[in-house]
Amino acid sequence: MTQLVTTLAGAFGFALICGLGFYQDRSWDRTLTSAAIAALAFGLVGQWWMRLWLASLMNAQQERAQAEMERQQQAQAEAQAAAQQEAPPA
């Protein structure tokens, strides 16, 4: 997924700068050079953003699993405490 986002961001940067260069009637060599640099920059930013986003999603999933485990342990402890209170003393 990271490769897809990197590729799409690079293509978007290239197309954007090419369009702006042609709109401003710049020369071909200057437009293509600027577009290639923009493709690299957009790709790197897209890759960084995607890695950050995936790391955040994984962190949230781990936190959710940890909270669920703690909730189950608490419910189990409460059930054991209730069972001990109901049991007749020996």
Per-residue tens of pLDDT for the chain, all 90 residues: 888 999 999 999 999 999 999 999 999 999 999 999 999 999 999 999 999 999 999 999 999 999 999 999 999 999 888 888 876 665
Domain annotation covers residue 69:
yes
Domain annotation covers residue 84:
no
Number of domains in the chain: 1
Domain annotation covers residue 13:
yes
Claim: this prediction has a pTM higher than 0.75: no
Domain annotation covers residue 85:
no
Q: What domain range includes position 13?
A: 2-78
Q: Helices then strands (H, E): number in the chain?
A: 2, 0
> Look-up: residue for tokens 């409460």?
78
Domain annotation covers residue 88:
no
Domain annotation covers residue 86:
no
Token digits of residue 1: 């997924």
Domain annotation covers residue 90:
no
Cβ(10)–Cβ(39) below 8 Å: yes
